[in-house]
């Protein structure tokens, strides 16, 4: 089994929709650190699990310097973002989304 890990930093804003009063319901931003882990039993025709540059380009093109509420079709919590990223990359099995030094959400497929 081959495994790769790509770490990307993006800047983006969001506001959460919660059922309780929270400062996070207000517009605010983060310098998000996203770590994507991908695996495959076999390498593709280029000898890779995934192209590191393609992963970075997709995430930057879609999420960097955006208001996440406008580009994602769900409440943009770190947990939901991690799952969405994992769904976008066929070989991804684990995504960590860090929105601040002490707050990280992880989505990992079974």
Listed in sequence order, the residues at least 6 apart from 66 whose beta carbon sits closer than 8 Å to its beta carbon are: 12, 13
Q: Cα–Cα distance between 93 and 35 in angstroms, integer?
A: 11
What residues are labeled active site? Answer: 24, 65, 99
State residue 83's pLDDT score: 98
Q: First and final CA of the chain: distance in angstroms?
A: 16
Listed in sequence order, the residues at least 6 apart from 29 whose beta carbon sits closer than 8 Å to its beta carbon are: 11, 12, 13, 14
Residues 81-105 pLDDT 10s:
999 999 999 999 999 999 999 999 9
Residue 85 dihedral angles phi and psi, to the nearest 5°: -60, -45
Contact present, 65 and 46 (Cβ < 8 Å): no
- The reply to whether CATH 3.40.50.720 applies to domain 2-108 is no
19: pLDDT confidence band, cut at 50, 70 and 90? Answer: very high
State residue 86's pLDDT score: 98
State residue 110's pLDDT score: 84
> What are the domain boundaries of the chain?
2-108
Contact present, 49 and 40 (Cβ < 8 Å): yes
Residues 57-77 pLDDT 10s:
999 999 999 999 999 999 999
């Amino acid at each position: 089994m081959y495994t790769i890990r790509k770490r990307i930093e993006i800047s983006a804003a969001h506001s959460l929709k919660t059922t309780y009063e929270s400062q996070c319901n207000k517009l605010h931003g983060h310098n998000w650190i996203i770590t994507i882990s991908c695996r495959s039993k076999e390498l593709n025709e280029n000898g890779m699990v995934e192209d590191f540059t393609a992963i970075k380009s997709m995430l930057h093109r879609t999420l960097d310097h955006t208001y996440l509420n406008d580009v994602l079709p769900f409440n943009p919590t770190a947990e939901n973002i991690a799952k969405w990223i994992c769904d976008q990359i066929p070989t991804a099995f684990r995504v960590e989304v860090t929105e601040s030094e002490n707050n990280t959400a992880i989505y990992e497929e079974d």
